[in-house]
Amino acid sequence: MEIIYHGHSCVQLIADGKSLLIDPFLRGNPLAKTQPEDIKTDGILLTHAHTDHILDAEPIARANDAPIVAIFELANYMSWKQLKTIEINMGGTVDLGFARAKMIQAFHSSGIMLEEGKIIYGGMPGGYIVQMGGLTVLHAGDTALYSDMRLIGERHSIDVAFIPIGDNYTMGPDDALQAAAWYGAKLVIPIHYDSFPAIRQDAEAFVRRLEAQQQRGKAMSPGDRLVL
């Protein structure tokens, strides 16, 4: 599997000639190295409805004729834009043929920001456990620490876990370390940091703290690629 980190929470998984994109946010991220028109993908997963996770879902899905997988309410919102969508809800699994994605809970909020200044309900926030290319990848989405992360780690052999560390809007490094221990992933990659001032963090320091608790971590910069 090849992993491309596009910055913020946007992760691309590539295996067996297929691509899966999670939480596309490129145009709004000053650190991003890639534009929506550069992305080629066969499917898109959305964790929740906040702008910094769905901003580029529409143009990428349209250009690639790719389905968007999202919680029921957000999937319906995207379908109103004449996009292909697949509805999912907490605990459910979607089979895309080249990958299976199970939605897990996240403790956060979720709303769609409309141009006229209104916010509409975007369904519950979540994360995903993806089985693709013979690996199990967890994307925690935007979340606080919660004790069932331990249960998720006990029930799944996780190869890679993408965990937010930014604080303010999600858990910070201290709670993320506990989440990493509970998930028990073979490799932990921090996400959702540095994109704007409120979530500045030292990802390399977080990785060193992971190593101190006997876990492997890797800090990736936008545009970085990793082959597993």
CATH code of the domain covering residue 194: 3.60.15.10
**Confidence class for position 129, pLDDT limits 50, 70, 90:** very high
Share of the chain above pLDDT 70, in %: 100
Residue 169, pLDDT > 90, answer: yes
Is 156 inside any structural domain?
yes
How much is the pTM? 0.98
The answer to whether position 132 is within a domain reads: yes
Q: At what angle do helices 57-64 and 72-79 cross, to 10 degrees?
A: 60
Q: Could you report the per-residue pLDDT of 55-90, keeping only the tens digit for each?
A: 999 999 999 999 999 999 999 999 999 999 999 999
Sheet holding 10-15, edge to edge: 85-88, 68-71, 43-45, 18-22, 10-15, 2-7, 225-227
**How far is residue 23's CA from residue 9's CA, in Å, rounded to a whole number?**
6
Q: Is the pLDDT of residue 115 over 90?
A: no
Residue 10 located in a structural domain: yes
Q: What is the pLDDT of residue 60?
A: 98
> Which pLDDT band, with edges at 50, 70 and 90, does 117 fall under?
confident
Total count of domains within the chain: 1
Domain contains 19 = yes
Burial 70-94 (b: 16+ CB within 10 A, else e): bbebbbebbeeeebbbbbbeeeeeb
Mean pLDDT of 35-49: 98
Q: What is the pLDDT of residue 116?
A: 83
| pLDDT for 144 beyond 90 | yes
Residue 227 is assigned to a structural domain of this protein: no
Reported as a single tens digit per residue, the pLDDT across 81-101 is: 999 999 999 999 999 999 999
CB 191 within 8 A of CB 217: no
226 in any annotated domain: no
In a domain, 228, yes or no: no
Host domain of residue 164? 2-221
Query: 99 lies in a domain?
Result: yes
User: Quick one: average pLDDT of 133-150?
Assistant: 98
